[in-house]
Every structure is written in C-alpha cells, then in structure tokens.
Amino acid sequence: MAARRISSLFSRSLSLPTAPASLGFGRGMQRFTSSAAVIDEPIIPPLQINYTKLLINGQFVDSASGKTFPTLDPRTGEVIAHVAEGDAEDINRAVSAARKAFDEGPWPRMTAYERSRIMLRFADLAEKHTQELAQLETWDNGKPYEQALTAELPLFVRLFHYYAGWADKIHGLTVPADGPHHVQVLHEPIGVAGQIIPWNFPLLMLAWKVGPALACGNTIVLKSAEQTPLTALYVAKLFQEAGLPDGVLNVVSGYGSTAGAALASHMDVDKLAFTGSTNTGKVVLELAARSNLKPVTLELGGKSPFIVCDDADVDHAVELAHFALFFNQGQCCCAGSRTYVHERIYDEFVDKAKARALGRTVGDPFKNGIEQGPQIDLKQFEKVLRYIKSGIDSDATLECGGDRFGSKGYFVQPTVFSNVKDDMLIAQDEIFGPVQSILKFKDVDKVIKRANATRYGLAAGVFTTNIDKANTISRGLKAGTVWINCYDIFDAAIPFGGYKMSGIGREKGVYSLNNYLQVKSVISPLKNPAWL
C-alpha cells in the first residue's frame, strides 16, 4: 500500500499543472505572460542550516584548506550558507576513511540483515524529517516545494526501502561444470565507491547511488554538486543516527575540477558512479582509464524524443508532452525535448501546447500551486537564454516565452518553439531548461530514424493507442527507457540509463546491483560426486 501511495503522489506531479488554475492568483504566483511583474519577497523557509561541513569518518569537519564556498538561493542569487570546500586533500582523507571502513570495519562484515535494518531505520528517519528535507531541497535547488514534498521525498524513502530489501537478496550462483568440479560464483562488494551526483535531483540521485552501494556492503565517498550541497549533509547525519558505522558514507562538498577529479583519479577507489553532463562524463571515464581502471557507471545527457502519433487524443498528448519537457524547470536529463508531432494534428497540437505553456504558473517555489521555480544558477540561466536566441536566429517560430521572467533570480519564461528542424541547435543540444521544441513528422519509419539521429539515447516518449505502433517504435528507438502514454515514471524497480553517449550502465532495479558487486568464480575439484 505504501508503494501505491507513493506512486499516486508521484503521478500527482503530472496533474499539478491543472491544479493551479483554481488558485492561480495567490501572492507571488505569476503566469509567465505577466512577465514584467517582479517576484515578491521570497518566502524564507522556517529552517536552520545545521550541517555545512564535510563528513569524513563520521565527523563533520572543515576542509583541509579551510576554504568555503557559498551555496546560493536560485530565487534571488543570494547566499544561503557557506559550505566547506573539499578538494584533493579532503578526498584523500575521505577515501582513506572509506578504505579503512571497508577493509577493517564492521560494515562489510555485518550480516546482510543488520545492514538492511540500518537502511530501514534510515528510511524511517528520512520519512520523519520529510518536511525539513523538502524545504532544504527547495531552498538550495529552487524546485517547487510541493514537488519535493509530495513526490521526491516519498520516492527517496521508497528507494531506501527498496534497497534495504535487496541487502539480504544478493545471491551468487552455482554453475554446472564441464567436469568433476564444484563451481560457485560469489557476488562480493566492490569496495570503496566514489559517487558524484548532480544538482537537479540532489536527494533522488543520492538514493540511486548510495542505496545500491550500501545494500551491497560497500563504503562510499560521495561528492555532491557545488550548487546543492545541503541535503546530502543532512541525510548523512540521519544515516549516523540510524546506526551507519563511521567511515561508511563520507560526503565531500566541492567542485568537479578539484574534488571530483581527485575522486575519479584516486588509485584507492574501486568504483565510480557519475551523473551529469556528457562532456564531464567523458572526463570522468578518461580519469578512470588513466588511473586504476575503476569501473565507471555514467548517467549523462539526453535529447529525448516525445513522439505523438496521429491517433492521439490531442489534449492528453499536449499535457503529457508539456510535463515531459517542463517538469523540474526542464532540468531533467531525460526531458522530452524533441516533441515530434504527426502532421495531421500538428497545428492543433502547437496551438494547445502554446496555450498550456502560457498557463504555466511560475514563481516562488515555496508557494502552493506553483509549477515552475527558477533555474539552478546564473550559468544555466544564461545558457538557456542563449539557446532560445539560437532558436530564434535559426528561424524556428517562437510561439511563446523567450525571455527571462521577472528581474531577480534565475526564472525563465516557459518557451515553445514550433517549426523546428532536426539540424537546428535547439533540436540537437541538451538545453536543460523550459524550452519546448515542436517538430513535424508524417511517417513512423522516418520519425524513428530522426529520433535516433542523435548522439544521445537516454529516454523516449510515445503517445499512441495503436499497439502495432507502440511495439514498432519501442523496439526501433535506441533509448534506455521508453515511456508509452506516460512519462517520467521513476519507480524504484525500473532500470534507468542510456544508450550511446547518454551513458554506461543502469541504475535502479535489479540491474543497479551489478554496479556495486564484483563477481568471483570459485572452483574446486570434486571427489566421487553424486551428480554433476
């Protein structure tokens, strides 16, 4: 039942868009069309920032250099807190704590049941602190509080329940031999796992990474994104309360080129998992290749097609395509950022997609009924505006939006382009913002080719009630996830990851365990075997 409840909460994120219509004029809430409006004073969450240091070997400590960096409120660009800035020296300290916790510590030597109990206790604690965690996540990241509270936190808790259940179900195999040998395969923890998570879903990405690593008995050095260091430190504290031994989970806040690179290059790290951009992912893999060949899992960028077939219920398709792109300010690696619409319904679709975007409520993410908060930071904000300009310059039709929203913080107007061509930059690059590109198609075979003509292959959406089309398209698309008549369904059991340059490996589901296990074959001869 818990699962059902969480899902319905999560699917509610889908229906969020229509809800605000009834309460649309609350304070601080703006249709983006009133773009001249200035956002009211930001709501300050009733929250104290207690954890701003690095967590190494169970202690919150300053960075070795003593340096700190500010983490900013995306609504205003103002400082929330100064956080210890970890670099190579701190990574070294964290890795040696994790190494010791793995090689000598109780963690891998506990029973799987004991590990499972600690993870369950942690999930319970996270559930108890749902509000504070959701507030902290919104403050640091700018995502709607309702989304954090009713979709992401329950999913975070659900993921740890899921992985707690795996702890005592890591089975090896016994294997039939070609002769008188007893063959077994042990699935062992891989060791010290380095994990680098992004800023768009700080808590969920932590759960995707930390959950399976702990379930498999590993120890961890986690580098959070410099834009969003706060929630990881908070949950690390809860993990301690739940009984996680010191050194098992170390959290280093800091930058990619210093702390991240040191982690990826470290000779004593046995595994690296990274979520972020394709360009950084290439660097991460290269650093692993140049150092100790640690296996690398990569979850990278995307330019996922959302294909609306001619049999579509247009209203429903518009709503889903809108959600697929605009969810989380468009800051999703799997955003449905190429909306392919069949020519028969194209004009109607564009009209309604435009109307839907114009109806999108943008404003302070702490406000009820808000659908869209600010982008994460100035750099992303400017990048998004640059792509919008490129869309205009390349002669796509700007249907709505196209500029910043308000005059403070990093808000961007929900933007829709029609008449987009495959070779335009906005149809090729990952924009990572609230910019929908609508393209026209007429033939299923051809749209499959066009959908696949990208270096990415993370996800895809298909909107049709025709089972033949659904089957043809879902086999034909080179993408790690195909959502049919739905989008962004992220249940714990569903594997997620990319084809092509969208990544290597899968997270979530049974598949995620591979990332954190080594396989050891053990063979001994049999004397007088009763069977072979």
Catalytic residues: 299, 333
Is residue 319 at the binding interface for other proteins, with CB under 8 A as the rule?
A: no
Contact between 332 and other proteins per CB under 8 A: no
Query: Is 285 a residue that touches other proteins (CB under 8 A)?
Result: yes
514 makes contact with other proteins (CB under 8 A): yes
Residue among 44 and 267 whose Cβ is closer to other proteins: 267
Within 172-231, which residues bind other proteins (CB under 8 A)? Answer: 173, 175-181, 183, 185-186, 188
Q: Which is nearer to other proteins, 52 or 265 (CB)?
A: 265
Contact indicator for 366, 145 with CB cutoff of 8 Å: yes
Near other proteins in 220-279, by CB under 8 A: 270, 278
Q: Which of residues 44-63 bind other proteins (CB under 8 A)?
A: none
Q: Which is nearer to other proteins, 367 or 500 (CB)?
A: 500
CB of 217 to other proteins, least distance (A): 12
Beta carbon nearer to other proteins, 189 or 363: 189
Q: What residues from 449 to 468 belong to the interface with other proteins (CB under 8 A)?
A: 455
Contact between 27 and other proteins (CB under 8 A)? no
Spell out, one character per residue from 70 to 89, where the chain touches other proteins: x when CB under 8 A holds, - when not.
--------------------
Residues pairing with 503 in the sheet: 299
Three-state SS at 411: coil
Min. distance of Cβ 434 from other proteins in angstroms?
A: 24
CB 283, min distance to other proteins, A: 8
Nearest to 16 by CA among 525, 508, 262, 359: 359
Q: What sign does the dihedral 148-150-156-159 (CA atoms) show?
A: negative
Q: How far is CA 120 from CA 115, 156, 166, in A?
A: 9, 12, 11
Cβ atoms of residues 84 and 194 within 8 Å: no
CB of 500 to other proteins, least distance (A): 7
Does 501 interact with other proteins (rule: CB under 8 A)?
A: yes
Instruction: State in Å, rounded, how far the first CA of the chain is from the last one.
Output: 45
CA distance 530 to 532: 7
Rounded Cα distance, 429 and 337, in Å: 9
Q: Are 470 and 360 in contact (CB under 8 A)?
A: no
Exposure class string for 306-329: b at 16+ Cβ within 10 A, else e: bbbbbebebeebbbbbbbbbbbbb
Cα dist from 395 to 45, 341, 392, 452, whole Å = 43, 19, 5, 23
Q: Give the shortest CB-286-to-other proteins separation in angstroms.
A: 4
Total interface residues for other proteins by CB under 8 A: 76
Site for other proteins in 117-176 (CB under 8 A): 158, 173, 175-176
> Would you count residue 375 as binding other proteins (CB under 8 A)?
no
